[in-house]
Amino acid sequence: MSGCEWVIEAHGCDEESLRDQAKLTHLFDSLIAGMSLHAVEEPSWHKFPGPGGMTGLCLLAESHLACHTFPEYQSMCLNIFCCRPRPDWDFAAYLTAQFAAAKVCVRKIERPYGQS
């Protein structure tokens, strides 16, 4: 048995969208629904002062979903860990459409539980 972790970087994003908690909450909601995940409580968000970005964390029955935005670099970093295999989700299409990402890099890491 193994889990799966996705590490996603989006670059060239619209700066204001990276500060928009409602837009980021919608991202979490879309990921949770689209990947058939189960939040165990509401996400926690922190807005950094001034022109800073946001950090969000959602605990899942399957593990966690985290997001960090950097408007000053027009970038977003996402991390999703699931304790069981999940179907892939079209991160690039969503982040391009909703955050105007010019480039999206998705790395998928298998996380085996037993020794090899």
Catalytic positions, written as ranges: 63, 68, 83
List, in order, residues 6 or more apart from 91 with CB less than 8 Å away: 6, 8, 10, 78, 104, 106
DSSP state of 48: P
Q: Are 109 and 7 in contact (CB under 8 A)?
A: yes
Quick count: other Cβ atoms within 10 Å of Cβ 63? 17
Tokens, residue 114:
């037993």
Nearest by Cα to 78 from 21, 29, 43, 27: 27
- 106's tokens: 């998705």
